[in-house]
Chain A
């Protein structure tokens, strides 16, 4: 009753090309943005911002980037952590070596370096496909892990590769408090989400999807595989690199290569799959699920234990979290293999007919 497009006619090409063709969607997204930019900073506690919202935003950016590669272009990559690391360390080097470098330039430079490395490790995708490619991208992961640990120049000759950044500012506006950090991340993520959305519904996005669905057929109708696959790798690793730099600068502050190890790659891939392959919205759902789940499990288990009169040791809790985490992921894959984005669109379909289904 509330959510239907009856009577909303498209009378110009502009309105035909809108991202959100339905008025209710536009209102909803504006309301969501208003809540995110105004209400949340006013209402959320520091813990909420620091432990949940900031990592959620940063990792959704990573998931968004990976989704372009895996969900839209169909190239499975297990090297996300590596590209994030490249972004983080490249941004760090620019920041540390050149005095007074603006933060945003460092972040973008991190993204650009990640793009270079991403394209380099994307070249094998022209020959290698499917699961072979997935394992081959692990080469990037382990090589980059090793490079930042052993090649001292990258880490400014610090021991064990751990580096840190000082105070951050955005053209004079300091980014110190959790609220400022949150707003900064939110702004960056919004820009990139808009960019990604427009890319995937443009010509290049259609090329990626054709490549994903059947690469030989796509080549036959005149899509260049080299161009389509390598641009997907480039765009994806750019976003992943920026998110790595953000994670390092804004969330961690000081970090070592282990922050971007293989577990990070798996986590981001989980976000993409649980959120929904080939869906911008899905990347955010997936990131929310994967960021919040371990925190909830960590907090809830001792409480549940005490209900039954048990005191659970920390070792037991950490193992049980592992177990439940695995079990929930399997459960989710079984219940909704197409991810949360599918649930979302089914919900919208239902809402269209509500309250009078045929």
Chain B
């Protein structure tokens, strides 16, 4: 029982991180109808920027403090992501207005190749560390309930808390601020939003910046767990089934989907994996999402797809 709960917790924590990346997908899809394959590349790019600035800034400015370096690096990386958002709007999406979904999808694949190459050209392609001082030691919970208790990595716990806080923050931003309201209006109906004077271009830059911010947070968390390296951009592939399971247009869907996939993946790996030869977590999430979509083609919380002739 203790082992089961441990697996469950592990799944929930990974799921939280998947939700974080899925959130980036959903934000952009809602606001601009673009299925952003470059989210993974953005995570890598942001993490690289963060890792390298944390190393470079103290050298350039001549200070020692670890905390200050991390803070400044975070701000610098955020600025870089805003610049990326602006460039994407200015040079790619602004030129592809009214194109079909698949063309836009391929354009974001182009962006992801570009960002992968660009990031590794200017920031280097070794494995870098992000050290934001997250504790690495495990804690034992619920010792009274089970024999041996439940062992949980403190780092995972913090990561999940940060992810949850970020989700809450974004929800507040979307529900309570004027910009958030404009974003929701654009998500609802581009033309109607434009006709009441919401500047579409600025909204797109904001949305991509927010997605960049989410990517940065995800990059910092994954980066401090696994180290910043190329494989980070593949994490996004894990978030894709989350997005379709939850529904492409739903923020709560991204979160619930992430948790479902995270738990499903871990439990299937532990309990089904040995029977099937191991390593099944690569495809299990996809097959799970696929089977679910057969029942509900628009995902858990997606808008109902209505076909009109």
Contact = CB atoms under 8 A, between A and B. Distances in A.
16 contacts: A124-B293, A132-B297, A138-B237, A146-B279, A146-B280, A146-B283, A150-B276, A151-B277, A277-B102, A316-B121, A319-B125, A322-B114, A330-B107, A330-B114, A333-B110, A337-B103
B106 A270 contact: yes
Contact of B125 (A146, A217, A220, A315): A315
Given A135-B241, A323-B117, A333-B99, 12 more contacts: A124-B294, A130-B101, A132-B244, A151-B277, A214-B309, A215-B307, A319-B120, A319-B121, A321-B117, A322-B114, A330-B111, A333-B107
Contacts of A217: 309
B67 interface: no
B112 interface: yes
B294 A128 contact: yes
- Interface size class on chain A is 35 or more
Interface stretch (B166-174, B200-208, B258-266, B284-292): B284-292
Interface in A101-143: 124, 127-132, 134-136, 138-139, 142-143
Interface string A319-343: 1111111110110011001000000
Interface residues of B, number: 52
Nearest to B112: A326
Contacts of B4: none
B158 interface: no
Nearest to A328: B110
Nearest to A132: B244
Contacts of A76: 102, 105
Given A129-B297, A136-B293, A217-B309, A320 B99 contact: no
The 8 closest A-B pairs by CB, nearest first: A322-B117, A326-B113, A326-B114, A323-B117, A139-B286, A329-B110, A142-B283, A330-B110
A246 to B, nearest CB: 25
Given A130-B101, A135-B240, A150-B279, A333 B106 contact: yes
A349 B248 CA distance: 41
B293 A127 contact: yes
Nearest to B298: A132
A259 interface: no
B283 A139 contact: yes
Contacts of A136: 244, 286, 289-290, 293
A347 B114 CA distance: 31
A323 B118 contact: yes
Contact of A135 (B91, B106, B289, B294): B289
Contacts of A146: 279-280, 282-283
Nearest to B282: A142
Contacts of B278: 150
A134 B35 CA distance: 11
Contacts of A214: 309
A142 B279 CA distance: 11
B102 A273 contact: yes
B109 interface: yes
A168 B309 CA distance: 53
A223 B243 CA distance: 32
